[in-house]
Every structure is written in structure tokens, then in C-alpha cells.
């Protein structure tokens, strides 16, 4: 499971306060084909937004009162400027739905490692 598989949720958990749900996206792709990468990421995020909007998590967490959702993205490679702009744009759009976008990079790259 990863960003390339937009039919499944990579990971799911309740937040520590148990008022929210965290959905995980794992992204191992580099940014050599930035456009294609962004398109795959957008498709995956859209699936997750639908999952949250339709409250599909209720099948897993019966009886839990979920107030918000977090889409947590774990990237292997540093983000490009356009990728950061894209994620900020998505965050601006989904904030009113009670959804937050968070991301981290597993392997920070320096000029020497690229």
C-alpha cells in the first residue's frame, strides 16, 4: 500500500484524544516526474477525503464520536516547492471540513545525497 494504490487506506488510527481519526499515506516516490507524482497524491488524498466525509471509518470504530480527521503523509523524499504549495492549497480547502493535512519526510536529502 502506498500513494500509488488509491483504492485503499494505508493506515488508520484514532487520535490520542479519541476525538479524531488519522489516515496515513505512505509516499516512497521521488519527484523526477513531479506532475505524475502530484496527480497520484491528489487522487489518494481525494479518496481519503471521501472516506472521511462519508464516515466510512464507522465500520471500524463503531460508537466513536469523531470530530475531525487528519491526513498524515509520510514522504521518503524531500518535497518540491510545487508539492509544498499543493499541500498548502489542499489544507486551505479541507480545513472547513474539519480535516488537517500533516506531512513529514523520512529521509532528509542534502545536496550531496541527491
| pLDDT tens sequence across 17-51 | 989 999 999 999 999 999 999 999 999 999 999 99
Q: What is the mean predicted confidence (pLDDT) over 70-74?
A: 96
Range of the domain at 31: 11-109
Q: How many domains, in total, are found in the chain?
A: 1
Q: Could you tell me whether strands 11-14 and 68-75 are parallel, antiparallel, or unpaired per DSSP bridges?
A: unpaired
The answer to the question of residue 65 being in a domain is: yes
The answer to the question of residue 60 being in a domain is: yes
User: What pTM, to 2 d.p., does this model score?
Assistant: 0.89
The answer to the question of residue 114 being in a domain is: no
Nearest to 102 by CA among 22, 34, 29: 22
Q: Where are the beta strands (DSSP E) in the chain?
A: 11-14, 20-27, 68-75, 99-105
Amino acid at each position: 500500500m502506498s500513494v500509488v494504490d488509491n483504492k485503499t487506506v494505508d493506515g488508520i488510527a484514532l487520535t490520542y484524544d479519541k476525538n479524531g481519526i488519522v489516515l496515513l499515506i505512505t509516499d516512497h516516490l521521488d519527484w523526477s516526474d513531479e506532475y505524475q507524482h502530484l496527480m497520484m497524491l491528489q487522487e489518494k488524498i481525494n479518496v481519503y477525503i471521501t472516506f472521511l466525509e462519508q464516515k466510512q471509518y464507522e465500520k471500524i470504530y463503531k460508537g466513536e464520536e469523531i470530530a475531525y480527521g487528519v491526513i498524515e503523509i509520510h514522504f521518503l523524499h524531500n518535497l518540491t516547492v510545487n508539492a509544498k504549495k499543493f499541500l498548502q492549497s489542499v489544507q486551505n480547502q479541507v480545513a472547513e471540513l474539519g480535516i488537517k493535512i500533516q506531512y513529514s519526510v523520512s529521509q532528509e536529502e542534502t545536496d550531496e545525497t541527491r
